[in-house]
Amino acid sequence: MLGEIRRAVPELAVSATGGVYTGSDAFAYIRAGAENIQLLSFLMGKVRSGLLIEGDKFRQVFHKLMFDEREGLLACMVRAGVSRGAA
């Protein structure tokens, strides 16, 4: 649906919400055209799996979303061959 909205109204800024628990989820929204991603559900405690680092909830969630070896945003981007400045 997000891709269809972006094609129909390309100047509309789209914020992706809901269902972002992994970097893979975020990457899918970005690839579909989202301008930004909201992480409220994950930050408010609806965690699907254990968080591996210590610190406050934001730090734990950010680490999992960005650096998880399988589903982190950086791992997804590397697998997809995304270069700097492109998603």
What DSSP line would sit under 43-77, residue for residue?
Answer: HTT--SS---S-S-HHHHHHHHHHH-TTTSHHHHH
The predicted structure's pLDDT at residue 56? 78
| In a domain? residue 69 | yes
Q: Give me 17's structure tokens.
A: 């919400």
Domain range enclosing 43: 2-80
| In a domain? residue 85 | no
The predicted structure's pLDDT at residue 69? 92
The predicted structure's pLDDT at residue 53? 66
| In a domain? residue 8 | yes
The predicted structure's pLDDT at residue 67? 92
Residues 16, 36 contacting (CB under 8 angstroms):
yes
What's the pTM value of the predicted model, to 2 decimals?
0.76
Torsion of CA 30, 70, 49, 84, to 10 degrees: -30
The predicted structure's pLDDT at residue 45? 66
Helices 23-32 and 73-80: crossing angle in degrees, nearest 10, is 50
Count: domains in the chain: 1
* 87 residues of the chain, pLDDT tens digit each: 888 888 899 898 888 888 888 999 999 999 988 999 988 877 776 555 556 667 777 888 888 889 999 999 999 999 999 876 655
CA distance 50 to 14: 30
| In a domain? residue 73 | yes
